[in-house]
Homo-oligomer: A and B are copies of this chain.
Amino acid sequence: MKIGIMGTGVVGETIATKLAASGHDVKMGARSATNEKAAAWVAKAGSRASQGTFAEAARHGELVFLCAKGEVAVEVARSAGQESLRGKILVDVSNPLDFSKGMPPTVFTKGDDSLAEQLQRELPETKVVKALNTVNAEVMVDPARLGSDHDMFVSGNDAAAKATVSNFLREQFGWKSVIDLGDVTTARGTEHYLPLWLRLMFALKTADFNLKIVKK
């Protein structure tokens, strides 16, 4: 499958590497078509790996992952362009974290908004699905490292797109439980969970953890 990855950081590289290793045709996008981190990734990721601009990665992908830092996520989507992403599913993995005042970062979206909603407004003809933003990159692509009994969440306005992403997460990464939280506004929930995730990381002294929802 043709996959577009927008972003060259740890999250983008981890997802790109996993999918390239599974035989997918992955293009990593950056601001520049000759981005050095993307070039280094292409050099080691196999013959079906390639690089390009954000717009080229977006056009390439049948499924596109937005893995940019939260502070530039909307700008990256704008740079890719509505045309490149029209009708496609955009998996938004970004988190609205402001590191400008040091650690731990704060969430910069207000309570009545989320990055996923900002992206959906920027790309009205794209199906934005929020996913994977509640775990560390290694857990995203290998949930089995924590055992099988923990949960991933998806948010988005298009039910079919959420089902497609949920199946993709199950089949490609091995997620056993994907909970559909509802429309794109429910991304406010997972994005605002990050402050707790960060405190848990410090308290547990590991980023290798996730949530399991226990109910009656």
Q: Closest Cβ of chain B: how far from A110's Cβ, in Å?
A: 8
Do B208 and A180 have beta carbons less than 8 Å apart? no
Q: Closest Cβ of chain B: how far from A146's Cβ, in Å?
A: 5
Question: Known interface pairs A204-B215, A211-B211, A216-B208. Does A195 touch B149 (Cβ–Cβ under 8 Å)?
Answer: no
A179 to B205, CA, bound (A): 12
* Chain B, residue nearest A105 (CB): B111
Contact with B along A176-198 (1 / 0, CB 8 A): 00011110001011101111111
Do B214 and A146 have beta carbons less than 8 Å apart? yes
Residues of B within 8 A of A195 (CB): 111, 188-189, 192-193
**A: number of interface residues (CB 8 Å):** 45
Residues of B within 8 A of A146 (CB): 214-216
Contact with B along A145-171 (1 / 0, CB 8 A): 111011001010000000000000000
Q: Closest Cβ of chain B: how far from A57's Cβ, in Å?
A: 30
A214 to B151, CA, bound (A): 10
Residues of B within 8 A of A215 (CB): 146, 204, 206, 208-210
The one of B155, B199, B209, B211 in contact with A186, judged by C-beta atoms closer than 8 angstroms, is B199
A62 interface contact, C-beta 8 A: no
Do A199 and B182 have beta carbons less than 8 Å apart? yes
Instruction: Tell me the A residues contacting B by CB distance below 8 Å.
Output: 98, 101, 106-108, 110-112, 145-147, 149-150, 153, 155, 179-182, 186, 188-190, 192-200, 202-204, 206, 208-216
Known: A181-B199, A188-B199. 10 other contacts (CB 8 A): A98-B111, A146-B214, A150-B214, A153-B196, A193-B195, A200-B213, A204-B213, A206-B215, A206-B216, A211-B211
List 14 A–B pairs whose Cβ atoms lie within 8 Å, in order of A's numbering: A106-B111, A106-B112, A107-B111, A146-B214, A146-B216, A181-B202, A189-B199, A192-B194, A192-B195, A192-B196, A193-B193, A193-B195, A209-B213, A209-B214
